[in-house]
Amino acid sequence: MSQPVELPDQIHVGTVIDESHSLASVSDKVGGIVLRRKITLGWVFGLLISFAVLQNLMAGATWLLLKGVGVWGINIPVGWGFAIINFVWWIGIGHAGTLISAILLLLNQSWRNAINRFAEAMTLFAVMCAGMFPVLHTGRPWLAYWLLPIPNTMSMWPQFRSPLLWDVFAVTTYLTISAVFWYVGLLPDLATLRDSAKSKTSQVIYGALSMGWRNSARHWQRYEKASLLLAGLATPLVVSVHTVVSFDFAVSIIPGWHTTIFPPYFVAGAIYSGFAMVLTLMIPVRKFYGLDDIITMRHLNNMAKVTLATALIVGYGYCFEAFFGYFSADTYEKFMIWNRMTGPYAPFYWMLILCNIITPQFLWSKKIRTSPGILWCISIVVNIGMWLERFVIVVTSLHRDFLPSSWGMYWPTIWDWAVYTGTLGLFMTLIFLFVRVLPMITIFELRMLLPGASVKEPVAQ
Amino acid sequence: MSVHASEETLYGLMAEFETPGELVAAARKTRLAGFKKFDAYCPYPLHELDEAMDLHDNRVSKCTLIGGLLGCIGGFSLASWVSAVAWPLNIGGRPLISIPMFIPVTFECTILIGGLTAAFSMLIMNGLPSPYHPVFNVERFVNASRSKFFICIESDDEKFDRRRTEEFLLSLNPEEVAEVAE
């Protein structure tokens, strides 16, 4: 493999790992969070809050199953409410994890090594939350297997020309491959935990999970090959998933949805919201677990730069959406964009412009990119902005389409909010559990960043 | 030398090194000395070792290619069979096998099967999961997943001779040489 291109010093903000670290110290530090760190009150408090919020999902889903999807705010014309908004939002968040773990691996960006495990975990949890929504939106989740092409007594089959079926394939493939990639990456670190665990229980659990990994050079050679192949396969996969999600919209004939810009615009938006979520989670974790020597200013700076770059791509998408509406000479397209900017949902649209286009411009300043507090606030704003974007896309196109006689309005009900906040609770609960039971940083890849890890062969005698 | 195992219960001899550079040099010398059944242990992937030990196993890539192709063919065949044989729907005389519309599913199946093949072929060729392995009998071997580097020459190698192999390993300037019980 070729060496990463060295940039001039003034572009760097510090190093990718504190220079005082050694092979042993990184293992002990990251492994120690799982094995030796006492359970703190803050962690218990956070977990309890998240778990309490997760109960909203239980209540929301139970009421939904008892009463049917009528308890949600959806109606005709707006048949796709919170369920689709949140599905697209969550899937998008997941995309940053795969981008960091796969695309940056192929591009040889070694700074990714400190954040990829956490980002991949975030991907898995976000996709789990996302998957909940279409299944609940069917109204009869116990029949969800109808989505799969399996022989059945009705001798009916799914429609392979429908983007909704493509979604089933794309999302299940994405979840499977992300989980496999994540677990393969975990193997050597689980072995580290097994070897440094003191209690019998931890030794047995991590021993079983690590599958007897023994750091053999012959294993590493195949392991590296498999990792690269998985990264190479995951890279087009991540692009395809949000492309397929955007096809749900673009293949229809609804004004505002039927555009070819949707796939790239969705993928950029996904990476944008995903990086914002990585920042939202990593900044507190870095502080509470004292990891600023491993997740350095350089990481925050780089992630902020990716956020800014994708914000600009998304901004370009907004401009062209408006331009296409105007330039299409199509009454409905023109009306759609006008209605979006000045109609009943106009505040949502302008809020989204404020959150997604204006706010990230602060990231041009290096000072802001390297101040964790401000960066965290910006990341929250971007998360909200991307959620608003999904709301605007889904609702403003549907609520006033071709026939004024069938126009309507959509407002979420308390049960919409219950399910949505419930998935936030689920996501946070899983994150809280993850940081305590698995190494949240890829230890073996950190070792590769250390100056002592490169080969200086002694002179042959 | 911790325990003196008898010839039958000896898995091999293990040398411990302090730096990756020493490990690579030692691995190269071991290969050049004619040993075939030996392995190096390192807490992270070390590309120089592949060259030093002459490792070039490409089977994972080949399996992945085959898996990906099977997924590709399988996905397309599934879509075609369902749409043209099992549940044909004539919609305005449009073709039953509508190739462009089958591409997303074909693509996802390619990635799915290819990715699973990559992961599972790696595990199978590495012989994982393997709950027990003799190298773990060496007490200091826990450091192989932390900060130390090891070479183990196995006793079923043709050139293995307990005394001479030990002398050979000691000539590589290791921290320590230990017996690995079966």
Q: Which residue of A has its CA nearest to B123?
A: A223
A276 part of a folded domain: yes
- pLDDT value at position A171? 94
Interface contact B27-A237, CB threshold 8 A: no
pLDDT of res. B159: 86
Q: Are residues B76 and B113 in the same domain?
A: yes
| Termini Cα distance of chain A | 29
Per-residue model confidence as pLDDT tens digits over B127-150: 989 989 999 999 899 999 988 999
Say whether A233 and B118 touch across the interface (CB within 8 A): yes
What are the phi and psi torsion angles at B40 (to 5°)? -105, 150
**Model confidence over A126-180: pLDDT tens digits?**
999 999 999 999 888 898 888 899 988 888 899 999 999 999 999 999 999 999 9
Give the nearest partner residue to B43 out of A172, A447, A457, using CB atoms: A447
Mean pLDDT of B3-25: 82
d(CA A171, CA A166): 8
**A166 to B58: CB separation less than 8 angstroms, yes or no:** no
* Mutate: best of A225, A227, A459, partner B, most B CBs <10 A: A225
Asked whether residue A419 carries a pLDDT value surpassing 70, the answer given is yes
Which CATH number belongs to the domain containing residue A234 in this structure? 1.20.1630.10
In this complex, is the C-beta atom of B90 within 8 Å of any C-beta atom belonging to chain A? no
Give B34→chain A minimum CA distance, Å.
17
Closest partner CB to B44 (pick from A184, A237, A453)? A453
Same-domain status, B74 and B110:
yes
Domain enclosing residue B33, as ranges: 13-41+151-182
User: In b/e form, how buried is each residue of A186-197, taking b as 16+ CB within 10 angstroms?
Assistant: bbbbbbbbbbbb
Query: B83 lies in a domain?
Result: yes
Average pLDDT score over residue span A22-34: 88
**Mutation for B interface: A148, A152, A157, A190, most B CBs within 10 A:** A157
Q: Residue A219 belongs to what domain range?
A: 19-149+158-452
- pLDDT of res. A371: 93
Over residues A246-254, the mean pLDDT reads 92
In chain B, residues with a C-beta closer than 8 Å to the C-beta of A172 are: 112
- Would you say residue B135 lies in a domain? no
Residue A197: closest C-alpha in chain B: B142
Of A222, A240, A455, the CB nearest to B126: A222
Tell me the pLDDT tens digit for each residue of A273-293: 999 999 999 999 999 998 988
Q: Residues A92-108: what's their mean pLDDT?
A: 87
Q: Compute the count of residue pairs across chains A and B with CB atoms less than 8 Å apart.
A: 218
Range 96-135 of B in CB contact (< 8 A) with A: 98, 101-102, 104-105, 107-109, 111-112, 114-116, 118-119, 121-123, 125-126, 128-133, 135
- pLDDT over 50 (residue A9): no
The average confidence (pLDDT) of chain B is 91
| Cross-chain Cβ contact B87/A156 below 8 Å | yes
pLDDT at A3: 55
Domain count, chain B: 2
Nearest CA in chain B to A30: B146
* Within a domain: B146: no
Query: Under an 8 A CB cutoff, do A247 and B47 touch?
Result: no
Read off the pTM: 0.92
- The tally of domains found in chain A comes to 1
Identify which of A422, A430, A396 has the alpha carbon closest to the alpha carbon of residue A410. A396
CA distance A292 to chain B (A): 21
Going by C-beta distance under 8 Å and a sequence separation of 6 or more, which residues neighbour residue A199? none
| Residues of A whose CB is below 8 A from B46 | 217, 220, 455
Would the pLDDT of A63 be above 60?
A: yes
**Is-contact B151 B26, C-beta < 8 A?**
yes
Same domain, B76 and B108: yes
Q: Do B115 and A180 touch (CB under 8 A)?
A: yes
Percent of chain A surpassing pLDDT 90? 73
Instruction: Determine, yes or no, domain membership for B5.
Output: no
- Max CA separation in chain A (angstroms): 91
Computed over every residue of chain A, the mean pLDDT equals: 91
Tokens of A73: 């705010």
Interface of B with A in 3-22 (CB under 8 A): 19-22
* Alpha carbon of A74: minimum distance to chain B alpha carbons (Å): 29
Q: Name which of A215, A225, A454 is nearest B145 (Cβ-Cβ).
A: A215
What pLDDT, on a 0 to 100 scale, did the predictor assign at position B5? 53
Note whether residue A11 is domain-resident: no
Sheet holding B38-41, edge to edge: B38-41, B149-154, B10-17, B176-181
Does residue A103 lie within any of the structural domains? Answer: yes
Residue B75 lies in a domain: yes
- CB contact under 8 Å between B64 and A214, yes or no, is no
Inform me whether the C-beta atom of residue B45 falls under 8 Å from chain A C-beta atoms: yes
- Look at A215 and B102 and tell me if their CB atoms are within 8 Å: no
**With contact defined as beta carbons under 8 Å apart, do B157 and B21 qualify?**
no
In a domain? residue A438: yes
**Which string of DSSP letters, residue by residue, matches A96-139?**
HHHIIIIIHHHTT-GGGGGTHHHHHHHHHHHHHHHHHHHHHHTS
Domain membership of residue A458 (yes or no) is no
CB within 8 Å: A157 and B102: no
Residue A223 has pLDDT above 90, yes or no: yes
Query: A225 and B133: CB-CB below 8 Å?
Result: no
End-to-end CA distance of chain B, in Å? 15
Which chain A residues have a beta carbon less than 8 Å from that of B58? 225
Residue range B60-89: mean pLDDT, rounded: 96
- At residue A372 the predicted structure's pLDDT band, cuts being 50, 70 and 90, is very high
Residues of B in contact with A191 (CB under 8 A): 145
- Three-state DSSP at A333 gives helix
B/e letters for B10-29, b = 16+ CB within 10 Å, e = fewer, are bbbbbbbbebbbbbbbbbbb
Please indicate, yes or no, whether residues B113 and B76 belong to a single structural domain of this protein.
yes
The pLDDT of residue A210 is above 60? yes
Give residue A1's pLDDT: 45
- Is residue A104 predicted with pLDDT exceeding 70? yes
How many CA atoms lie less than 13 Å away from A235 in the CB half-sphere?
A: 11
- The yes-or-no verdict on residue A458 having pLDDT over 90 is no
Please report the residues numbered 133 through 152 in chain B whose beta carbons come closer than 8 angstroms to any beta carbon of chain A.
133, 135-136, 142-147
What are the tens digits of pLDDT across the range B95-105?
A: 999 999 999 99
The answer to whether the beta carbons of residues A84 and A416 sit under 8 Å apart is no
pLDDT of residue A13: 63
Is this complex scored with an ipTM above 0.90?
yes
Residue B47 located in a structural domain? no
In a domain, residue A12? The reply is no
Q: Is residue A1 part of a domain?
A: no
Subunit contact B121:A226, Cβ cutoff 8 A: yes
Distance between CA atoms of B50 and A217, rounded to whole angstroms? 8
Q: What is the secondary structure of A42-89 as a DSSP string?
A: HHHHHHHHHHHHHHHHHHHHHHHHHH-GGGSS--SS----HHHHHHHH
**pLDDT confidence bin for B8, thresholds 50/70/90:** low
User: Do A230 and B119 count as a contact with CB atoms less than 8 A apart?
Assistant: yes
Look at residue B113 and tell me if it is in a domain.
Answer: yes
For residue B26, being part of any structural domain is answered with yes
Average pLDDT over residues A209-237: 94
**Minimum distance, in Å, between the CA of residue A192 and any CA atom of chain B:** 5
